[in-house]
Chain A
Amino acid sequence: MTAEAEHHLLETTLDELKHLFSPRAAAGETMVLNMGPQHPSTHGVLRLIVELDGEIIVNAVPDIGYLHTGVEKNMEAKTFLKALVMTDRLDYLNNMGNTLTYCLAIEKLMDVRVPPRAQILRVLLAELQRLGSHLVWLGTHTTDIASQSILFYAFRERERIMDIFEMVGGQRMMTSYFRPGGVWRDVPAGFEEAVRDFVNNYLPPKLDDYHSLLDNNPIWLDRTKGIGVIDAENALAWCLTGASLRGSGVNFDVRKAMPYSGYEAYEFDVPLGQNGDVYDRYRCRMEEFRQSIRIINQALAKLAKTKGPVITDDRKVAPPPRSELGRSMEAVIHHFKLWTEGFSAPPGDVYAATESPRGELGVYLVGNGGPKPHRVYWRTPSFVNLQALPVLSKGHYVADVVGIIGSIDIVLGDTDR
C-alpha cells in the first residue's frame, strides 16, 4: 500500500468514528488515544478508543471482535452432540457453565428429564467452576490496580479445581462433561473427598488471606471506592447482570429468580452491594466465594444420599452404557445412530439461562426437525455488561479504566464468541 492510500484509508476510518467523540476532539482540545487490543490489563484482546481531557476520560468506545471465532455459525453446521464440544471454548473461565446452559436448552427443546444424581453433580461442578472463575477474576483484578502477589496465590488455588475437573472429565478445562440428558459418567472414587477437602480445609484460610491483604489496604481502597459508579436504575437500564448488577443493590440472580438444575433446593444468600462502585462489586464477588462453598457442601451431602443413573435412559438422546453393547442389538443401533446421524430436535425455539460467574448466560436455540441446530444464539454476559463501560468510566482517570474493566469481569471469549 502506498503512503497516500494508507493516509486515505486512515482518514475514512476516522470519519466513520467521528460521531462517537465530542466536537472538542476534532478541534484538538481533547486527545483521542488508542488502548489495546494488545494491552496487558484489558483481560484479552479488548480495544478501547478513549477521549481524554488531560487525564480525565471524556468518552471511551470499546471495539470488540478480535476474538470472534464464528462459534454460532460453526454450531449450525454440526449435530447437537458434536457442537457440544465447542461450548467449552466460549467463555474459557466458565467451561462447565457454558456446556450446562447449552444442555439445558437442548433438554428443554427435546423435553428430556435429567436424573437427580446428575442434577446434583451439575450444581456441584458449576459452583466449583464459579470458584475457579472468581479466583482468576480476583488475581487479574488486583494485579491491574494494586498488588501482584494475589495473582500467583489465586492461580495456585485454581490449580486444585483444575485437578478435580481432570478427575471427572479427563481434561483440565475443555471437559465437555455435561451431556444432554445428564453427565458423561459417574464421578470416580475419591472425588467427594477431594472436593470436601478443597472447599472446607484448603480454600477458606486462603480467602481470609485475601481479605487481610486487601480489606485494609489503603491503595486498594483508594483505587476501588467511588470508582466506576452506576446506580441501580442505570444498571437495570443497561441490562447488566451478575455481580455488576448486584453491586448496585439489585437482587437478581438467575439461580434464585429462574432456578434450574434444582437450585431451588439449596440454601444460599445473594450478596448485594449498595454504592455500585468497583469496591462493592469486589465485596459481592468475595462473598459469592462463601456462598458457593455453602452450596457445594449441601450438594456433597445430597450426593452421598442419591445413588442411581447419571444420564437419562432416553436412548434417543443419550447413548446406552458400554456394557449393553455386547449383548443388545438395540443398544448397538442406538449407539450407531447417535454417533453418526445424531438425534433430531423438533421444530421450535427455546431460551435457557444460567447464572455464569459474570451474569446471565443464555442460549436461544432453534430446532428445525433435523439433527443440527437451526440457530444457536449465545446471550453472553460479558457482551452486554461491556456495553456499559463508557457510562462507568466517564469522568474518571485513565488509570481507573483497567480497574473498571476488571470489576465487570469480562472474558473476551465470551464477548466475541
Chain B
Amino acid sequence: MSHIEHTLAALKEKFGEAVEQVVEFRGETTVWLRKDAVADALRFLKESPALRYTFLAALTAYDDWPESPRFKVIYQLRNMATMTSLRVKCAVRGDEPELPTVTDIHLNANWHEREVYDMFGIRFAGHPDLRRILMPADWEGHPLRKDYPLGYEEVEFTFNFDEIEKKKPYAKE
C-alpha cells in the first residue's frame, strides 16, 4: 500500500464522515474535509508517526461566488521523507466565513492565514495576530473575492485631466 493510500485509510478511519470526498486529478490527491475537522485532521496528519505530513507548503483559498458554499480553503501538505503530497480542502460558507487557526500546528500558517483573511475576509479563530498583511491596514473590502471589481486607472489626457484629478483619493492643498 502506497503512502497516500495508507493516509487516506487512516483519515477515513479516524474522522469517518468528516471526510467528505477524495478526488484524484492529474496524479494529485485532494481530501475534502468538513470545516470542524480540519484543524484536528492537520494535527493528526502531522503528528501521527506513520503519516508525518509536517510541511505546509501552501495555504490559500479561492472564491466560487455566487455558488454556495462560496469559499474553498486549501492546505497543501507534504511528507518530507517520502515526498508525498496531499491537499486538504474545505468549504466555507460566505455568511459565516470562519475557520479554526492552524498556527499552533504549523508555524508558517501565521502569514498564510493573514493573507487569506486580507484577500478573502475569512477569519481564523484563535489566530494570534489576524491583521491585514498585503493591503493597507485601513483598506475596505477583500480584493480576491469574485464580487470585488477589478479596478483600473483612467488614462489622463489634457481634456479630462482636471476631472480625474478631482476624483483622486490623496489629500489636496
Contacts and interface: CB of A to CB of B under 8 A. Distances in A.
Contact of B108 (A65, A68, A239, A257): A239
- Most chain A beta carbons < 10 A, residue from B57, B63, B74, B76: B57
A238 B108 contact: yes
A377 B60 contact: yes
Interface in B84-141: 85, 87, 106-108, 110-111, 119, 128-129, 131-137
A204 to B, nearest CB: 33
Interface in B5-43: 25-26, 28, 30
B110 A387 contact: yes
Nearest to A385: B108
Contacts, number: 91
Given A252-B80, A387-B110, A362 B137 contact: no
Nearest to B171: A1
A206 to B, nearest CB: 35
Contacts of A379: 57-58, 60, 76
A348 B57 contact: no
Contacts of B45: none
A74 B150 contact: yes
Contacts of B83: 257-258
Interface stretch (A170-178, A316-324, A349-357, A400-408): A349-357
Nearest to A346: B25
A165 B171 CA distance: 43
Given A239-B56, A239-B108, A351 B129 contact: no
B44 interface: no
B144 interface: yes
A236 B79 CA distance: 11
Nearest to A239: B108
A70 B139 CA distance: 14
A50 B6 CA distance: 46
Contacts of B119: 72
B58 A108 contact: no
A348 B60 contact: no
Nearest to A251: B80
- B-side interface mostly: loop
A362 B76 contact: yes
Interface residues of A, number: 42
Interface stretch (A13-21, A51-59, A87-95, A283-291): A13-21
B140 to A, nearest CB: 15
Contact of B133 (A65, A236, A362): A65
Nearest to A351: B76
A349 B27 CA distance: 11
A16 B150 contact: no
A108 B56 CA distance: 21
Nearest to B89: A349
B95 to A, nearest CB: 21
Nearest to A1: B171
A295 to B, nearest CB: 21
Contacts of A384: 108, 111
A77 interface: yes
A109 B26 contact: yes
A269 interface: no
A374 B65 CA distance: 11
A164 interface: no
A172 to B, nearest CB: 27
B80 A68 contact: no
Contacts of A252: 80
B28 A19 contact: no
A65 B57 contact: no
B107 A237 contact: yes
5 contacts: A65-B134, A68-B134, A258-B83, A348-B25, A379-B57
